[in-house]
Structure 1
Amino acid sequence: MKDSLPEAAALGRLGNLYQQYRQGDRASNLEEAIASYTAALSVYTREAFPEKGALTQNNLGVAYSNRIRGEKAENIEMAIASFTAALTVYTREVFPKKGVQTQNNLATAYSDRIRG
């Protein structure tokens, strides 16, 4: 798993670049970001790399929140799941600033929620 760490880091950075990239097809860029974050999470497990995994889960949640393709309700549910997973690590006691940012993202996703 440690051998995969540089690859996971590169995938996380690639996901960030795809999310921020303003040229090309925005929908395709977000799909690439989601795929990159999802691949990185195969290495950044909660057990092995909790902080990196939480950051990646938060970024994945943002990508799902902004996703153009797919069903809007399902994308929001995926965002909520990602932010919730990040918050298992980003607690107020250990990561107050990151936790608040992720809580804010989660609150926005809940306010946009279509289901439930």
Structure 2
Amino acid sequence: RTDFPVQWATTQNNLAAAYRHRIRGDKADNLENAIAAYQQALEVSTRTDFPVDWAMTQNNLGNAYSNRIRGDKAENLENAIAAYQQALEVYTRTDFPVQWATTQNNLGTAYRDRI
């Protein structure tokens, strides 16, 4: 993390994605591990220094919270909504139309499922 922070953050993001899509092991544990890894990646991939990576990780974190099994469902959805909204601060319709549309769709799903 100290010597190669960018590579470390990328690895954390990839690890989180692997946990989020993992078919082995306990699904709830996998999602908790994914959330933790995304949060760690965000400690290095900040909006100021790496805005596109930050937005991607925020969107992915939102997906993990949307699917989270543990914790309060309403709180998980609020965390997902907050992450999607943050991603949309960078993923604008003009600059990143595909990512903007994907994140808008994710946000809409979270609003639909909101308790």
- d(CA) in 2 for partners of 1:21 and 1:3? 26
C-alpha distance in 2 between matches for 1:49 and 1:103: 21
Q: Does 1:95 align with 2:96?
A: yes
Matches within 5 A, 1:33-44: 33-44=34-45
- The count of corresponding residues between Structure 1 and Structure 2 is 114
Q: Deviation per CA, 1:36-55, whole angstroms, max 9, x where unpaired? A: 00000011111100000000
Q: Normalising to structure 2: TM-score of the pair?
A: 0.97
Distance in 2 separating the partners of 1:62 and 1:80: 9
- Tell me how far 1:2 sits from its aligned partner: 8.2
Structure 1 length as normaliser, TM-score? 0.96
Q: Percent identity?
A: 54
Q: CA deviation at 1:3?
A: 3.3
Q: CA RMSD in A?
A: 1.1
Structure 1 CA distance for aligned equivalents of residues 27 and 78 of structure 2? 21
Residue type of the alignment partner of 1:11: Q
Unaligned runs of 5+ in 1: none
Q: Give the secondary structure class of the aligned counterpart of 2:47.
A: coil
Mind listing any 5+ residue stretches in structure 2 that lack a counterpart? Answer: none
